[in-house]
Amino acid sequence: MPADAPQLRFIRVLSDGRPGHENQSVGLAEALARRTGATVETVRITGAGYLARYQRAIDRALDGPWPQLLIGAGHAVHLPLSFAARRFGARSVLIMEPTWPKAWFDLCLVPEHDLPAGPLADNVFPTRGALNRIPEARPPKQPRGVILLGGPSRHHGWNGAALAPAIREIVRARSEFTWTVANSRRTPPGFLEELNRADVSAELMAHTRTPPGWVPEQLLTATEVWVTEDSISMMYEAVTAGARTGLLPAPPRRENSRVLRAVAALVRGGLATRYADWEQNGRHLPAPKPFHETARCADLVLERFFSPRNTPKL
């Protein structure tokens, strides 16, 4: 941290409107706010054309307090983030791999599975998976289990015929837990009904019935969480929430994709267990390990650019 580092009072998040991108950016901003008391504002800059997005990026702040930090993720925010930071004299933090030169940003937080081998520039920091909005302080765990379903994607297919009996076995192996199975927008239609026909003793929750923030609330109190292997963000939310985390199989579409590398890193680090390994090792998930990548990145941002204002609010 430079000797004349400013205090962090106002953070502006630039969002392209995609939930996964906004979740990471807002999660980092909230972690910084817990440490500094800074105010966080989210500005969605969706719209056609660079000039329209840039105008939204600086809108209103010209008449009020200027941000000391801008945070964003996703291609649509790259140029507005860089140029708005210059306009305000603020620091810029970009999450994920940029499509423009990394030197245009003060800090790039890039998942390690997306980075090439070799030395990195000083403004590039490798992260372990996706950031999220799970807080550092967690409530006591309850005798509950949660199963989160993704669906077909560019990197994975779907095998519902194999998945349904696996879910039934997981629920039966922990019959002392109260179980909830939730689908997502990508889950094939009718799969929850298939689980009902397979006699899965769990609450079956359609994503259309869940309010905002429902998934993090479930993860924070659940002792055990299972996630299909296609869902990077939900895997890392489960691990961050301090749950014993299992991975349900999803057939890969291509070898050595970034998602497969992320899954392998979780398993290699002892943070998550594949279903096949769970079956072979007595049907028990190991105790969770401490993990909070968003907090680690927030500490890095403060260490590099800002002076602390107060005691961390964790």
Residue 229's domain comprises 142-280
Return the closest-CA partner of residue 237 out of 255, 256, 218, 211. 218
CATH of the domain at 72: 3.40.50.2300
Residues 22, 96 within the same domain: yes
| Number of domains present in the structure of the chain | 2
Tokens 């879910």 label which residue? 167
CA distances from 25 to 74, 90, 187, 264, 269 (A): 10, 16, 25, 25, 25
Residues 83, 192 within the same domain: no
Is 310 domain-assigned?
A: no
pLDDT in tens, 52-108: 776 777 776 555 679 999 999 998 899 889 989 999 999 999 998 888 899 999 999
pLDDT (average), residues 174-182: 97
Residues 149, 77 within the same domain: no
Confidence of residue 142 (pLDDT cuts 50, 70, 90): very high
Token pair of 306 as six digits: 């800002």
Is 3 domain-assigned?
A: no
Residues 158, 193 within the same domain: yes
Confirm if 181 and 200 have CB atoms less than 8 A apart: yes
- Whether 255 shows a pLDDT value over 50: the answer reads yes
Confidence of residue 237 (pLDDT cuts 50, 70, 90): very high
Is 288 domain-assigned?
A: no
CATH of the domain at 267: 3.40.50.850
pLDDT in tens, 258-274: 888 889 999 999 999 99
Quote the pLDDT of residue 314: 43
